[in-house]
Structure 1
């Protein structure tokens, strides 16, 4: 007599053995695939899509954006945040003129880490021979170097990314701030243009020599750009004044190219500002203030390259809190901006109150009309 339960048990046993075999096979495949991924770094690297050829593609590794290892490291607290913005934006514009957005992929600096940046930004001493600021007492010898920024430019080769270019920004103080005693009064010493240029070029040359010691950076083009920091009380950021392109593994800067870049505040107290730009802004400002008197102020930062206006950012501070007021005001600002502000240049207009940003307007250099957006309270 046959045993139905025995047949069922045998059938179950065969199914279990088959499943175990499949599991072991899949595990082996998974292990093999995992080993391949471990050897091929490119499998963990992704590129951020490029929405416009004005911008670089970025790099994501292991699901995370590659942040800079040295950004934000400065000699002391930088009270002028406009310096940081002008420094980073200006450096990116310099990079674009040497590393095409169509050919290169942008990666935040990965070779100068936080520890290295801190050493370089400190004074040169026996304990810190790598310091790029001169040795001596704070009350007598200025700290010239304020900040360093690194930008890496990659190219794709055999499904992987390779470092193929680099830009280094070197921020030099225009005013040296120091204390004679801990928590004491802050003193300042204005540095001459000749000091700023001399120190900047010397420091840039030393940084180039140090970077070339890394085998990955031995033969790539390295751009060194020198930036003059604006004083802490300035209403505009600083500006780049020289750069050098170092090809073919050069370990010493052979020449520096002068840059004529200026940032001016409008309305201006300086006679250097272009009268036509000043008049255009004054007309815009008076029209807006006459129509809406509840304004705390209207100022602009005008950006000049080789004496020509190349961009403008307008800040308007209001006392409006009702959304209908903000919408009406934004629409009026747009009509007056299109009528009075200079054409053919990019312009941003920020409208804000003590509660924060209320609306924003923007126009590209090739457009005649402004795009606007009102930030709703909900």
Structure 2
């Protein structure tokens, strides 16, 4: 507390004393929320700490996003953030996995009713143990025992990562856990070494084996979650299965099935998810001409030709189109440039904002990233309900 100089005026002293009494009562009456992991709720306790202490809920930017949880003035991050069985070399996978899992969650937990909280039950140590191979020293490992083979008969790493998302409701000043969504990312190809620091080899994983192993792991994970403090037997736990793309793919993977444990240790019937990601421009002569994205590919190619003729300093223009069945869900466009001038970048971004609506789809989210070897320089976003692109130039004022 700041030091207060002694004032000789009795009236001023009286005012200061009254103020101290007032603020003392004010702080004693105010309280903040603190998490109680044993009950799954957030309880309210009296405190003299600042307003940044305890649990707060963010405001919503739009109806399609969740309110999120802030703890002690900071965003509440996942306890098992970034944990994976092996090093992930395909950056597209992480984006597709996280975005797709959030889209899946919105189908089961409304953004108008539920509050999103990063996973708080699966810890880093537990995730590392689960994603490791089963062994005498690690009996909780979900991936199979190392059989010592170094050819196609080896036991591959099936499960790459586990993502937990918690969904809460507010009851007065409390937060209560109402459901959990788990994403299980399964490898379609395992990259391994026959000796430490040696060459890398790849082992393709049979689709039927991957699906069967995923179901077995999902059942085991549900049983383990039910034993975690604060979850209990009646919290619905959804499981969404994701097939990772190969390391050299220019697109992320896709979700292929889901299930739910409404109570107890068992899962219901599995439901297929007909999702796919298409890389643009498509390669002719490879069967892509039968793709659901044939029409989009034509307009995307015209878009690419247009901006490349206007700005010759482009290295490449590629896209990832996400589909649910035959319906386009979203598009991400990557534009690689060799610009050095800030005015070039700004002019180019503004030109794209003007020309993109003539070629790229409307009614779905579209994100255009403009990148150079030094990193991202600008990005443009069109929401599903937007008619224009919002342009952001990085590093500008």
TM-score by length of 2: 0.83
Tell me if 1:288 matches 2:303.
no
- 1:249-264 aligned at under 5 Å gives the runs 249-264=263-278
**Which is higher, the Rg of structure 1 or of structure 2?**
1
How far, CA to CA, are the matches of 1:35 and 1:57 in structure 2? 21
DSSP-derived class of the 1:182 partner = coil
How far, CA to CA, are the matches of 2:211 and 2:127 in structure 1? 21
Deviations 1:9-34 (A, max 9, x none): xxxxxxxxxxxxx9xx99x9899879
How far, CA to CA, are the matches of 1:327 and 1:34 in structure 2? 49
Instruction: Name 1:328's counterpart in structure 2.
Output: 347
* Contact kept in structure 1, 2:33 and 2:174, CA below 8 Å: no
Instruction: Name 1:162's counterpart in structure 2.
Output: 176
Instruction: Name 1:42's counterpart in structure 2.
Output: 44
CA RMSD of aligned residues (A): 2.8
Residue number among 245, 251, 256 corresponding to 1:241 in the alignment:
256
Cα–Cα, structure 1 residues 58 and 37, in superposed 2: closer, same or farther, change >3 Å? Answer: closer
DSSP-derived class of the 2:320 partner = strand
How far, CA to CA, are the matches of 2:395 and 2:115 in structure 1? 36
Instruction: Name 2:69's counterpart in structure 1.
Output: 59
Tell me if 1:122 matches 2:132.
yes
Instruction: Name 2:192's counterpart in structure 1.
Output: 178
Instruction: Name 1:343's counterpart in structure 2.
Output: 362
How far, CA to CA, are the matches of 2:107 and 2:266 in structure 1? 22
* Contact kept in structure 2, 1:264 and 1:303, CA below 8 Å: yes
Deviations 1:154-199 (A, max 9, x none): 1122421111100011011010111111111111110121111111
DSSP-derived class of the 2:230 partner = helix
Residue number among 324, 344, 366 corresponding to 1:305 in the alignment:
324
How far, CA to CA, are the matches of 1:235 and 1:52 in structure 2? 31
* Contact kept in structure 1, 2:250 and 2:279, CA below 8 Å: yes
1:330 Cα deviation from its structure 2 partner: 1.9
1:262 Cα deviation from its structure 2 partner: 0.8
Cα–Cα, structure 1 residues 375 and 122, in superposed 2: closer, same or farther, change >3 Å? Answer: closer
How far, CA to CA, are the matches of 2:254 and 2:371 in structure 1? 26
Instruction: Name 1:107's counterpart in structure 2.
Output: 117
1:332 Cα deviation from its structure 2 partner: 2.1
Count of paired positions = 359
* Contact kept in structure 2, 1:71 and 1:148, CA below 8 Å: no
Instruction: Name 2:236's counterpart in structure 1.
Output: 221
How far, CA to CA, are the matches of 1:34 and 1:353 in structure 2? 51
How far, CA to CA, are the matches of 2:171 and 2:379 in structure 1? 41
DSSP-derived class of the 2:163 partner = strand
Using the TM superposition, name which of 151-160 and 107-116 deviates more. Answer: 151-160
DSSP-derived class of the 1:216 partner = coil
How far, CA to CA, are the matches of 2:255 and 2:267 in structure 1? 17
Instruction: Name 1:373's counterpart in structure 2.
Output: 392
DSSP-derived class of the 2:240 partner = strand
How far, CA to CA, are the matches of 2:346 and 2:227 in structure 1? 57
Cα–Cα, structure 1 residues 56 and 37, in superposed 2: closer, same or farther, change >3 Å? Answer: closer
How far, CA to CA, are the matches of 1:353 and 1:42 in structure 2? 49
Q: Which runs of 5+ in 2 are unaligned?
A: 1-17, 37-41, 46-53
* Contact kept in structure 1, 2:168 and 2:177, CA below 8 Å: yes
Cα–Cα, structure 1 residues 343 and 110, in superposed 2: closer, same or farther, change >3 Å? Answer: same
**Structure ranking higher in helix proportion:** 1
How far, CA to CA, are the matches of 2:62 and 2:226 in structure 1? 33
1:89 Cα deviation from its structure 2 partner: 1.0
Using the TM superposition, name which of 215-224 and 103-112 deviates more. Answer: 215-224
TM-score by length of 1: 0.87
DSSP-derived class of the 1:161 partner = strand
* Contact kept in structure 2, 1:323 and 1:376, CA below 8 Å: no
